[in-house]
Chain A
């Protein structure tokens, strides 16, 4: 059996792990840190252009090899398992939550409050934006104040977004460009400048932040060990006491060889699915329901957000396909007036090419060839189309759960997780009003530009999922404290998305990272008001 010892073992190799490791090594440069990731490292930058082309031409995986086939879960929304995690192929959207997201109970009597101060989280938002490299246009709303400017100037609005902004703002709603983890200047973070390749999921220039860049930089300093293709299957405790002593793993390289990791501190950075899963798998005689689970809250309050979206046909000349991931955002609906039915959401606008392609037959069913096909196509694209979407917060029920599925096991015989989201009664009760709100809102947008709303659809899964190890001050109703330290085990932390009590109403990645960076202060044992203020 292979055995390793270090000061810190970070389990999981995604974006929170990468940036947590980076910060820990800055705070504690003499510490030894091992990152253990079940998936492979895909560091073959030289092949990105090829993968991109094959994805465009054949629909092949733009990140080949980014899965562990038998490490699956019912209810997950991404199968990516590799060094870099889901952020290998994220779109790079870096929206912040708002203070309301952390004060739902105090302000609206809903769900629960987060056990931290907004000002403190805001500082870590700034830090996350610096480390990732975010280009953005500040919100014009006073409530969206920020203590530092964006690290980079905003991605310029495209022709299409300029047309769409002019249209959308006729509704009286203000829009601006979405902040993104994409370089608008050359060299930020050692990466290139965006070339608007239109394939942000596999950025051929490195302009879009990807955690593999951070890992490669850390590995180059020889300060970090990265053990990929190694699945941590169980955490074991010391013979007496509640401290975690060892992480037991198996190699995913075909040998299945056993590996043990011993450390002073263990950090779970495996995301909303695999973090609570490992805690449940680690049940023992003293913690029969799983580690960190004396409250029976591990795997509960699985959260995320839902969405309504629509296409709107409008009187504008749109040329789809020139940086089409770039979008507009309005944060005007992050706040909900007390005298209005509760609904909070972001509002995004993109150019749209869906349903705008060439058609083989005309409306009468006659086959179109050559010039007739082009003529028909041009007629249908004289006007432009926008795609609009609002993520709205959907608060989790206590029984919104991740559990072990005894009927599904991986190659090692470990039961795999199953996630079943369930919104709380208050969210369910306002579902009709939420739908009506979006119908009215989309109609308002359309009307302003002589537009027509197409079919409105609802997202059929919870996006940017989180939860499962929610933070709180009361050990009876939470799994970790405000810094991610588990209530039950002093040397075991959970960081990032699993710790979130609620999922907000906009993209979550920046918040996952900000929370992890905040945890780093305590993991590193850094003294000061930040480490001590809320513990």
Chain B
């Protein structure tokens, strides 16, 4: 399949997924099933194939300074986020606002199945059995296409939204404490509790 045709195929799958989930009662059930799967199975919110894809994604989009263990940890953090997601949660109310925020919606994980399928389809068009089986340059090409079609993703979400699996995965890592530490090459450990001692000192450097 030519590159353009391949991109169009990805776009079509993603668009179809969005439309279907928004309008078709049948796929609402699929979303609920995914949530139930997460809630019942603890951390096992993604099946083995999806987890393999996430691991391959981590190898593709995370910095080389991270070792294999760090990349697997990033995947576990992503999985854990969904395993502990609570639909209908009280989202509080912003200071300066008269109105309350809406409760949290259904888990964004419900929007991922067609996206996993699109990554798999992209791999098959390139002669690989799965996204994880693609060589790194091909994975990068698929990922970039994923972020450019059907609508370009311009920002990394701070939390997964379901709109784009790749952006969600990247956003959760890079916006994490570990991501910021790596950027600044320092143990800022943004949300860690620490004593007042050594307040005046810069955070310790880390390699990277």
User: Chain B nearest CB: distance from A124 CB in Å?
Assistant: 27
Of chain A, the residue at the smallest CB distance from B203 is A319
CA distance A360 to B155 in the complex (A): 6
User: Chain B nearest CB: distance from A200 CB in Å?
Assistant: 12
Size class of the contact patch on chain B: 35 or more
* Complex contact A74–B98 (CB within 8 A): yes
* Complex contact B193–A197 (CB within 8 A): yes
* Complex contact B202–A194 (CB within 8 A): no
* Complex contact B156–A61 (CB within 8 A): no
B91-107 residues with Cβ-Cβ distance < 8 A to A are 91-93, 95-100, 104
Q: Is B61 interfacial (CB 8 A cutoff)?
A: yes
* Complex contact A61–B90 (CB within 8 A): yes
* Complex contact B175–A159 (CB within 8 A): no
CA distance A159 to B175 in the complex (A): 22
Q: Is A56 interfacial (CB 8 A cutoff)?
A: yes
CA distance A357 to B193 in the complex (A): 22
Of chain A, the residue at the smallest CB distance from B179 is A358
* Complex contact B188–A322 (CB within 8 A): yes
Contacts of B21 in A (CB 8 A): none
User: Chain A nearest CB: distance from B151 CB in Å?
Assistant: 13
Contacts of A374 in B (CB 8 A): 63, 65, 182-183
CA distance A121 to B203 in the complex (A): 42
CA distance A203 to B45 in the complex (A): 32
Q: Mark A151-179, 1 if CB is under 8 A from B, else 0.
A: 00001111100100000000000000000
B181-202 residues with Cβ-Cβ distance < 8 A to A are 182-184, 186, 188-196, 199-202
CA distance A265 to B81 in the complex (A): 52
Q: Is A349 interfacial (CB 8 A cutoff)?
A: no
Of chain A, the residue at the smallest CB distance from B156 is A360
Stretch at the interface among B28-36, B113-121, B127-135, B140-148: B140-148
Q: Mark A359-400, 1 if CB is under 8 A from B, else 0.
A: 111000101011101100110010000000000000000000
Of chain A, the residue at the smallest CB distance from B93 is A79
Of chain A, the residue at the smallest CB distance from B174 is A358
CA distance A490 to B192 in the complex (A): 52
* Complex contact B81–A67 (CB within 8 A): no
Q: Is A195 interfacial (CB 8 A cutoff)?
A: yes
Q: Is A45 interfacial (CB 8 A cutoff)?
A: no
Of chain B, the residue at the smallest CB distance from A207 is B196
Q: Mark A50-61, 1 if CB is under 8 A from B, else 0.
A: 000011111111
Q: Is A6 interfacial (CB 8 A cutoff)?
A: no
16 residue pairs from A and B, CB less than 8 Å apart: A58-B85, A62-B92, A67-B93, A77-B96, A78-B93, A155-B196, A159-B199, A195-B194, A197-B191, A361-B154, A371-B64, A374-B63, A374-B183, A381-B183, A460-B96, A463-B96
